[in-house]
Amino acid sequence: VRERKEVLSAGSLPGKLLDCTSRDGKNGNSAHNVWKLDSAGDGYYYIYSALSDTLALDVAGNKATNGQNVSIYNFNGNYNQQFKFAKNRDGSYKILTRISNDASAVEVENAYTDAGANVQQWEVNGANCQDWIVEKAAINDAPATNPPATNPPVTQPPVQNNVILGD
């Protein structure tokens, strides 16, 4: 797993396309870079923006096709807002889309590493641009709460504030 320099970033308006932005000490845990996970059942999660409990990660157009943009949108609970975290051997995750029956994942378009790179849905292909790290996060530089080291390994991401980083 390479050093992570980008973080999944959202705006505060419904329909805002997601992008990857630089992660630095000043803005890495800003609310637009923090996500809350809530169980949708059957191993899927709704991924809410920390900016608002009404804005959720959304595969645009409610479609399963390659290249569909991923944005934030008003929560509606449809399959295009449900995601499954599949853990990779290196500890990163693929974020699978329920609308595609888990055949596609959230990825950085064309594996771009520049700030502002588009985030989209694409069939799972093993590319690093489909790998994400989930870290516990505190908003506005408040300390994060970490589980005791004696806890067993987590196979699904914790349901709380998280920063989702590109690999």
Res 33: pLDDT: 72
pTM: 0.75
Among 15-29, 43-57, 93-107, 139-153, the minimum mean pLDDT is found in 139-153
The answer to whether residues 112 and 72 touch, using CB atoms and an 8 Å cutoff, is no
Query: Can you give the pLDDT at residue 62?
Result: 95
pLDDT at residue 25 greater than cutoff 70: no
